[in-house]
Amino acid sequence: MTFQLIGVNHRTAPLEVRERFAISESKLPAAVQQLAQHPGVEEGMIVSTCNRVELLARSRNGGSDLRTFLSQYFQIDAREFDQHLYEYADKEAIRHLFRVTSSLDSMVVGEPQVLGQVKEAYAVARAVGTVNSQLDALVTRAFAVAKKVRTETAVGSSAVSVASVAVELAKKIFGSLSGKTVMLVGAGKMCELAARHLLAHGAGSIFMYNRTYERAQKLAQKFGGQALPWDQLYDSADKADIVITSTGAPVAIFRREHAERFLARRRNRPMFFIDIAVPRDVDPEVNRLDGIFVYDMDDLQQVVSSHVADRGREAQRAEDIVNDEVERFLARMQTLDVVPTIVSLQDHLETIRQAEIDRVRGRLGELTPEQELAIEAMSRGIINKIMHTPITTLKTAAREEQGTTVIDVVRRLFNLQRKPEKDKSESAANGAKH
Write out the catalytic residue numbers: 50
In the chain, the largest separation of any two C-alpha atoms, in whole Å, equals 110
Instruction: Show contacts of 39-42: CB within 8 Å, 24+ apart.
Output: 39/64, 39/65, 40/64, 40/65, 41/69, 42/133, 42/135
> Which has the closest alpha carbon to 265: 292, 238, 228?
238
- CA angle (269 as vertex; 268, 273 as ends), nearest 5: 105
Question: Residue 11's closest CA among 408, 382, 308?
Answer: 308
Give the count of alpha carbons within 13 A of 137, CB side only: 17
| Rounded Cα–Cα distance for residues 98 and 319 (Å) | 9
| CB-based burial, 333-344: b 16+ in 10 Å, e otherwise | bbbbbbbbbbbb
Cα–Cα distance for residue pair 96/102, rounded to 1 Å: 10
Q: Which of 195, 166, 180, 165 is nearest to 271 (CA)?
A: 180
Gap between the Cα atoms of 170 and 424, Å rounded: 55
Contact between 228 and 214 under an 8 Å Cβ cutoff? The reply is no
Q: Of the candidates 109, 117, 107, 108, which has an alpha carbon nearest to the alpha carbon of residue 142?
A: 117
Length of the chain: 434
Nearest to 52 by CA among 4, 5, 99, 18: 18
Q: Which residues of 196-219 are buried (b: 16+ CB within 10 A; e: fewer)?
A: bbbbebebeebbbbbbebebbbeb
Q: How many Å apart are CA 38 and CA 22, to the nearest integer?
A: 19
Residue 259 and residue 292: Cα distance in Å, rounded? 8
**3-state secondary structure (DSSP) of residue 105:** coil
Rounded Cα distance between 50 and 407, Å, is 44
